[in-house]
Amino acid sequence: SAIHIKQYGTCEIAVPGNTKSAQSKRGKEIADTFSWNPHKTSRLNPQTSWLYMASFPILCDCVGKSLAALVANINCQISANLSSGALYEIKRELLWVLYDQGCIDDFPFALAELGECEENCSSDRGFKWVHAEVLGGINVLMNERLFLDAIMVARKKYGDSQVYPYCYAGHYHKDAGRESVPQEYRLVEALRLYSHAARVMSRYPFEPSDSMQLVKTSTKLADLIGDDILAIPGDRNGKKSKKRKPRQWQEKNNSIAAATWLLSFYDYLLLWEENSGDMLKGGDQPLSCTGRQFVEILNPGHKKA
């Protein structure tokens, strides 16, 4: 996501890739990043680029917000399967200080990161029940409110151009619902939020230098849906095994709603590929939309096909 610091031009927090080309884009002005190339056609500009959030960047116009950007990007993972609880706690407390100072009220990424910190390293504050006006004033845990606030800020202030607030909230509901029958409805909510993430993706024309991270995100979401929502751990000699088996939905309404949002999720990914046809082809030749570019499971050789 792009973050603009008023006095110092454009600062890229995450331009994917370790190539010289990718590295050369970091810290440049938008016009320089998308300069005209006589050997390559491109529809990218600040209004259509995902890295620049469709010309709705976060403005780091105070020291507190600049600090929030740095703190929110702290990676607490030690390895693929191990995170640092102590680092999560430090990050959580720093973000709460910035939250209380009003520095992240309009910063969706920082709000969502604070919510994730509370999910992984909970405090008493995260377990407080608070009003959620967006849900009609019902009470939710403060942890969930942070994810809701991130989505609403992204919609109202940043043109609904951000994918990740929906992903964070979807992960929260997926994790809460996959092991508990009474919480099964949360899996439906996760699918709904993932569908909205795909909807936002579909608005951006695809170009590898700009959107490759979005393709990785869509693939990751599809894997999470298949592994954690549509399937459950299998049983082997009374113990859970790595092999998955189809989920048996306990409530009919949940199964119907889940199927509806699942179709919506893939429909938006197919729309994204359809809208990006000439970019994928690299010219004016029409692309036969097979769905295989952004929906890997449609490839015949896919492990889950």
- Provide the whole-model pTM: 0.86
* Partners of residue 97 on adjacent β-strands: none
Number of neighbours of residue 30 by Cβ within 10 angstroms: 19
* Partners of residue 11 on adjacent β-strands: 3
d(CA 214, CA 186): 24
pLDDT the model gives residue 205: 86
Burial class (CB in 10 A: 0-12, 13-18, 19+), 280: middle
pLDDT the model gives residue 68: 96
* Partners of residue 151 on adjacent β-strands: none
pLDDT the model gives residue 81: 85
Q: Which helix (H) or strand (E) holds 147?
A: helix 142-157
pLDDT the model gives residue 12: 45
Low-confidence ranges of the chain (pLDDT < 70): 1-17, 25-43, 237-238, 277-305
Contact 262, 247 (CB under 8 A): no
pLDDT the model gives residue 113: 98
